Chains A and B, each alone.
Chain A
Amino acid sequence: MATETHGAEEGGLVFHPMDQFIVEPFFGGTDVAWYTVTNATVWSFLAVLATFLLLVLGSSKRSVIPSRMQSVAELAYGFVYKMVEDICGKEGVKYFPYIMTLFMFIVCANFLGLLPASFTPTAHFAVTVVLAMAVFLTVTILGFVKNGAAFLGLFWVASAPLALRPVLAVIELISYFVRPVSHSIRLAGNVMAGHAVIKVFAGFAALTVVSPFAILGITAMYGLEVLVSFIQAYVFTILTCVYLKDALHPSH
């Protein structure tokens, strides 16, 4: 993506591993205003489209014996539903649509980002920080609304010896506020790292001698990336569930 910004390259090794993440207007032009349709916009909405195709068109027949698309849709539904129910309990089921939204967006964006010449919205901190902050703020506000001041019991580890509790409270508080940071950077970092490594391997392919190894490396990394795309979506979702559980049942 976006190699044209470099103009004509001379021979030799050329690495631009981060260029695939450049945000630029999709319909020409150079400046990006807040409303400009960029490649990030397009691929985000392709993820929306993919979600729509999978979950709405896939289940449009409502057959008791599912078709292939419908069983994939049901698999996704059951996967996230079970996760929410197992971790958050019955009260968490109310928030299932929100969590499903996060999961479907991340998983579709990740997999669409694996297409050659595509753009990966989830490799951008702008995207993952918004997702993680949304989770963080929702969980914090929900925790206080549901439990009142008792939500602060999350930081006061009642099972620890009394002398240790203030220390633990500080640690818990810090770890609580680091949550959105790690939550967002984990997703963006994993996706970005995989894509950048593929680009670096692709850069090595310019040397004829090592190009077979480069292609082998790209293939292997691509396989790993397919795995990572799913696992990171899964991890993001499951951590959301875990944080939500803390808000619903703050006692340790």
Chain B
Amino acid sequence: MATNTQSDGLADAVGVDMAEHASTPGMPQLDFSHWGNQIFWLVLALIAIYLILSRVALPRIGAVLAERSGTITNDLAAAEDLKAKAVEAEAAYNKALVDARAEAQNIVERAKAEIKADLDVAIAKADAEISAKAVESEKAIAEIRTSAMENVKIVAKDTAKEIVAALGGKADAKTINAAIDARLKG
């Protein structure tokens, strides 16, 4: 503990007025006359804090933290579920899309095939008609041709008869016909 003389010495050495200070010790921490008082109140304060903490504060905060971590875990699990569901839905959507596409393809194919069949039938029919018509026309042309030939024969015979008659000959019809037939054939 500081005594008066040493305090004065200190005061001289650092140029500090310590005259009034002499009664109190230099370091209040080492004034043991206060220790009992300080310890008594400190212990009371510590007990108060301990009771506050252990009875009220810590259980409450611990419960809140546990609740929060529970909530967070639950939310995470729920989010995980939702994510799985979303993935599932996407897969289903993709599958539906693929199916629909295949279906559309099928329909298109079928329609194409049907149309082609119809078309083929129609074409075949048209061809048949066309060929029938062509045959008929050919027949008609042939008839026309034969009849034309007949007419030519008749005209030629008549003309030949007339020419022979005009030339003063006495035309035998049979002979003339035979001659003309031979000429026409040749």
Contacts and interface: CB of A to CB of B under 8 A. Distances in A.
Complex contact flag A–B (Cβ < 8 Å): yes
Interface of A: 5-7, 9-10, 12-16, 18-19, 21-23, 32-38, 40-41, 44-45, 47-48, 51-52, 55-56, 59, 62-64, 66, 70, 73-74, 77-78, 96-98, 100-102, 104-105, 121, 123-127, 130-131, 188, 192
B93 interface: no
29 contacts: A9-B17, A14-B16, A16-B16, A21-B28, A23-B28, A23-B38, A33-B37, A35-B40, A37-B41, A41-B41, A45-B45, A51-B52, A51-B53, A52-B52, A62-B67, A63-B64, A64-B68, A70-B64, A73-B61, A77-B61, A100-B53, A100-B58, A104-B49, A105-B46, A121-B42, A124-B38, A125-B29, A127-B42, A130-B43
Nearest to B14: A15
Contacts, number: 149
Interface of B: 14-17, 20-21, 24, 26-31, 33-43, 45-46, 48-50, 52-54, 56-58, 60-65, 67-68, 71
Contact of B49 (A10, A40, A105, A130): A105
A15 B21 CA distance: 11
CB-based closest 9 A-B pairs: A55-B57, A126-B38, A41-B41, A44-B45, A21-B28, A97-B54, A23-B34, A34-B36, A22-B28
Contacts of B71: 64
Contacts of B65: 74, 77-78
Nearest to B72: A64
Given A51-B49, A52-B52, A55-B57, A15 B31 contact: no
Given A13-B16, A14-B17, A55-B53, A192 B29 contact: yes
B38 A40 contact: yes
Contact of A101 (B20, B50, B62, B67): B50
A98 B50 contact: yes
Nearest to B45: A44
B14 to A, nearest CB: 7
A181 B38 CA distance: 18
A101 B48 CA distance: 9
